[in-house]
Amino acid sequence: MAAAPDNSAFTVTYSDYLARAGEQSDPVDFRKNCQLSLIVHAPVDYTYAIASVDYRGYASLQSGVSGMEKASYYFQGSPETKSESHRWRGPYADNWQATDTKPWEDLDWAPCGAKRNLNVNTELRVLIGASDPDKTSFMTMDSTDAKVSSVYRLAWKQCPSS
């Protein structure tokens, strides 16, 4: 993980992140996830929120197969988890990109004056459905060099005076 010099974003690099289903796949391979728990050091009297995230990868989905990328975001101790998901339907064999973004008024802000971890859970799923189970389908957050970066852009605002 790397933070931008101006603290406006951070980048997470995934490797070996692959969900697959079909011939010679283990039953648990259809779903893969990665849980990040991050400590973001906010200046005193400031808070932050995830404004947008770009995810990319490659999918090879047979006819009748669906693939899904999902991300869930929440602050440690928060009762609410916000999720965004994106789907692709086979036949599909190409790079994919998904962007989670929210308008300023809908952002979920870290609690002011409290140090809470930011948790992000990303997930890939490949569901065979009515397709031929002897053919393999897969979805990855990897590229040919086995590494792709997801950029998480942050919004900052001053906390209200107490």
42-51, 101-110, 120-129, 147-156: which range is least confident on average?
147-156
Residue 125's domain spans which residues? 2-158
DSSP state at residue 25: -
CATH number of the domain that residue 54 is part of: 2.60.120
Between CA 11 and CA 150 the distance in angstroms is 6
Confirm if 151 and 29 have CB atoms less than 8 A apart: no
pLDDT value at 59 more than 80: yes
Angle (nearest 5°) at CA 97 between 91 and 103: 130
- Quote the number of domains for the chain: 1
pLDDT tens digits for range 16-44? 899 999 888 898 999 999 999 988 888 88
Taking the C-alpha atoms of residue 37 and residue 45, their distance in angstroms, rounded to an integer, is 22
pLDDT score of 102:
86
The secondary element (H helix, E strand) that includes residue 85 is strand 82-89
pLDDT of residue 12: 81
pTM for the complete prediction? 0.85
- ∠ CA 82-140-148, nearest 5°, is 85
Average pLDDT over residues 3-7: 75
Q: What is the CA radius of gyration of the chain?
A: 18
Q: Is the pLDDT of residue 143 over 60?
A: no
- For residue 137, give every residue at least 6 positions away whose Cβ sits within 8 Å of its Cβ, in sequence order, or none: 20, 21, 22, 59, 60, 61, 62, 65, 67, 90, 126, 128, 131
